[in-house]
Structure 1
Amino acid sequence: MELRHLRYFVAVAEERNFTRAAQRLHIAQPPLSRQIQQLEEALGVQLFERNSRPLKLTDTGRFFYSHAVQLLAQTAELESMTRRVGKIERSLSVGFVGSTLYGLLPKIIRRFRQENGAVELSLHEMSTMDQIQALKEGRIDVGFGRIRLEDPSIRRVVLREERMIVALPIGHPLIDAKPVLSLTDLVSETLIIFPKAPRPSYADQVLAAFHDRSLKPEHVYETRELQIALGLVAAGEGISIVPSSVHGLRRSDVLYKDLDDPRLVSPIIMSMRMLDESEDLTRMLELIYRLYTEEQMEFIAPAAP
């Protein structure tokens, strides 16, 4: 059994389809099918229920998948960290979702560069889903996102829970209706959500907030990103629920109002490879907690060792 067998198997298990897995791996489908068959023969077990559509893992296949993912992640970590050790200057590649730029992330990056001049930082905007894949492949070393995704090869640290607020166009009747608004007040409005893709995303957090309260927005408009959503709000096309850090993005044509439920939050999550305990990541995490304290921002304290 070779590493390529593990990569092929994981791709088929995650895509649940040989054709899509072959496209993801950039190989033809027949060789992929043969490789999976050879893997099963080598192990002496059946990993997939062949007659199911979409493709399903057997119990043995699920066991093998969980360990295969971890082995591939460890391999990516080994490659990444070996390259890092071999460089005179250390490097740290950071993935982030766009909405985190309106919070403390820019200050975190600036301060980290000031305090760790030997570390070359590179920034990459990408969705939380893309961050997870990039971490597994060793393309980034740390990600900042908002979606709670469980993955055996990824370590997540929930840094803080950010309150959601409502963005309204200037002159909207709800601005003066009451001091704070509820989701019930918003169901008849056109709700502008973002990002449109990939999913799951922050958009699903907003929709889930309505669903959890047995509410359903009458009109939903999906757009690509936060800036476009706020532009549409300013144009009077609807309202949007955004993270409270967007307060820092001041616009003369949009007004923000608080929501009445403290449980309406969106997390800020720092994600790393499970086995990556590099000093640079430790310093970054310590810096984040230090900055939260300096800024007197609420955050989730790290668990005691």
Structure 2
Amino acid sequence: MELRHLRYFCVVAEALNFTCAAERLHMSQPPLSRQIKQLEQEVGAELFERSSRGLRLTPAGVFFQQHALQILEKVDATTEATRRMARSQRTLFGIGFVPSVFYGQLPTLVRDLRQRDNLELSLAELTSVQQIQALKAGRIDIGFGRLRIDDPEVEQEILFNEPLVAALPLGHPLEGTTPNCEALARYPLIIFPAKPRPSMADMILGIFRRQRLKIDVVQEANELQTALSLVACGIGITLVPEQVKRVQREGITFVSLEDKSLTTPVICSRRRGEKPSPIMQEANAILEVLVENRRTGRYP
């Protein structure tokens, strides 16, 4: 299978007409039809329903289109980034991160690296699972997440464990207290991200499950900021990493938990067995200082 097959398929899937698609691709219809048929044979599934009324995507075709578009977008983005790097004679360094790690010290890493004249940073908001995929594909060079994921091609290092805190709407009965999980379980819970899973949502659910506490998940949000907005609206409460307390949001208060062992790790992921580049060596040195500041209670 070649990239052109994916491009042909996506054009046909959008037009749902071989003649129109062939015109867009500046080719004749018979070769295009043959290419799509070959693609279906290679995939092992019919991607289109063909009838007198025209073309229609099969369920397999809908699934294939979604992923084909993602692949082509990534290829185009990588190509453009490579061109920019070549034009500027700069080294490209990709950083993946989950949003909740960027409320603390990690922005200092980005700020310090940006001081280098020969470096172009590429920042990508990715879940922990997506970071592993991006590392293996070479789209990022280092990732910061919260889930340990076993993969032979990726090494992970826990930088530090961060306490969890409860985000509550102002005026909540637990405001000003230090609640335990049993107290938290009495109130509707908002979890994030809703997908993809596994994620921090599963980590939070596991805390209550291990204590055999029944909880009412009233809402699942895809993003941390959305979850906090829902809290501010009074829809429920949520658990977040401690550094999120730095977010200034109206209508929200944060309280520490009684159980100080309830923490979430900040995990750094890198490709395994790869000799560190000069940029990676510098990033590692900056991280070492930041982690030490965190562990000793000093912040930049």
| TM > 0.5 | yes
Give the Cα separation in 2 of the matches to 1:298 and 1:194. 28
Deviation track 1:191-217 (CA, whole Å, cap 9, x = no partner) reads: 000011100111111111111222221
Deviation track 1:208-227 (CA, whole Å, cap 9, x = no partner) reads: 11112222213342111111
Note if contact 1:188-1:219 (Cα within 8 Å) is conserved in structure 2.
Answer: no
Query: How far off is 1:189 after superposition?
Result: 0.8
Note if contact 1:102-1:248 (Cα within 8 Å) is conserved in structure 2.
Answer: yes
Note if contact 2:160-2:291 (Cα within 8 Å) is conserved in structure 1.
Answer: no
Note if contact 1:146-1:268 (Cα within 8 Å) is conserved in structure 2.
Answer: yes
Q: Judging changes above 3 Å, is the alpha-carbon distance between structure 1 residues 127 and 295 closer, same or farther for their aligned structure 2 residues?
A: closer
Give the Cα separation in 1 of the matches to 2:296 and 2:145. 18
Query: How far off is 1:140 after superposition?
Result: 1.1
Give the Cα separation in 1 of the matches to 2:213 and 2:40. 45
Give the Cα separation in 2 of the matches to 1:159 and 1:296. 9
Give the Cα separation in 2 of the matches to 1:262 and 1:117. 43
Question: Larger Rg: 1 or 2?
Answer: 2
Aligned amino acid, residue 285 of structure 1: N
**Which residue number in structure 1 is paired with residue 93 of structure 2?**
92
Q: Counterpart of 2:174 in 1: which secondary structure?
A: helix
Give the Cα separation in 1 of the matches to 2:149 and 2:252. 32
**Which residue number in structure 2 is paired with residue 164 of structure 1?**
164
Q: Judging changes above 3 Å, is the alpha-carbon distance between structure 1 residues 153 and 298 closer, same or farther for their aligned structure 2 residues?
A: farther
**Which residue number in structure 2 is paired with residue 128 of structure 1?**
128
Note if contact 1:189-1:219 (Cα within 8 Å) is conserved in structure 2.
Answer: no
Note if contact 2:153-2:272 (Cα within 8 Å) is conserved in structure 1.
Answer: yes
**Which residue number in structure 2 is paired with residue 139 of structure 1?**
139
Q: Counterpart of 1:173 in 2: which secondary structure?
A: coil
Query: How far off is 1:296 after superposition?
Result: 5.6
Q: Judging changes above 3 Å, is the alpha-carbon distance between structure 1 residues 153 and 29 closer, same or farther for their aligned structure 2 residues?
A: farther
Give the Cα separation in 1 of the matches to 2:278 and 2:210. 41
Equivalenced residues, count: 226
Residue segments in structure 1 that go unaligned for 5+ positions in a row: 5-26, 34-83, 300-305
**Which residue number in structure 1 is paired with residue 16 of structure 2?**
none
Deviation track 1:128-156 (CA, whole Å, cap 9, x = no partner) reads: 11111111111111111111100000011
Note if contact 1:160-1:298 (Cα within 8 Å) is conserved in structure 2.
Answer: no
Runs of 4+ in 1 over 6 A off after TM superposition: none
Give the Cα separation in 1 of the matches to 2:144 and 2:236. 28
Note if contact 1:175-1:257 (Cα within 8 Å) is conserved in structure 2.
Answer: yes
Query: How far off is 1:117 after superposition?
Result: 3.1
TM-score by length of 1: 0.67
**Which residue number in structure 1 is paired with residue 118 of structure 2?**
118
RMSD: 2.9
Q: Counterpart of 1:174 in 2: which secondary structure?
A: coil
Q: Judging changes above 3 Å, is the alpha-carbon distance between structure 1 residues 158 and 88 closer, same or farther for their aligned structure 2 residues?
A: same
Deviation track 1:256-284 (CA, whole Å, cap 9, x = no partner) reads: 00011122111111111112222322221
Give the Cα separation in 2 of the matches to 1:290 and 1:219. 39
Note if contact 2:164-2:264 (Cα within 8 Å) is conserved in structure 1.
Answer: yes
Q: Judging changes above 3 Å, is the alpha-carbon distance between structure 1 residues 112 and 190 closer, same or farther for their aligned structure 2 residues?
A: same
**Which residue number in structure 2 is paired with residue 273 of structure 1?**
271
Query: How far off is 1:297 after superposition?
Result: 4.7
Give the Cα separation in 2 of the matches to 1:130 and 1:168. 29
Q: Which moved more, 1:285-294 or 1:191-200?
A: 285-294
**Which residue number in structure 2 is paired with residue 198 of structure 1?**
196
Aligned sequence identity (%): 38
**Which residue number in structure 1 is paired with residue 186 of structure 2?**
188
Deviation track 1:10-61 (CA, whole Å, cap 9, x = no partner) reads: xxxxxxxxxxxxxxxxx8464257xxxxxxxxxxxxxxxxxxxxxxxxxxxx
Q: Judging changes above 3 Å, is the alpha-carbon distance between structure 1 residues 232 and 91 closer, same or farther for their aligned structure 2 residues?
A: same
Give the Cα separation in 2 of the matches to 1:131 and 1:112. 20
Q: Counterpart of 2:215 in 1: which secondary structure?
A: coil
Mapping 1:34-53, distance limit 5 Å = none
Residue segments in structure 2 that go unaligned for 5+ positions in a row: 3-37, 45-84
Give the Cα separation in 2 of the matches to 1:232 and 1:31. 46
Note if contact 2:168-2:231 (Cα within 8 Å) is conserved in structure 1.
Answer: yes
Give the Cα separation in 2 of the matches to 1:121 and 1:104. 17
**Which residue number in structure 1 is paired with residue 285 of structure 2?**
286
Give the Cα separation in 1 of the matches to 2:130 and 2:291. 26
**Which residue number in structure 2 is paired with residue 102 of structure 1?**
103
Query: How far off is 1:241 after superposition?
Result: 0.3
Note if contact 1:89-1:118 (Cα within 8 Å) is conserved in structure 2.
Answer: yes
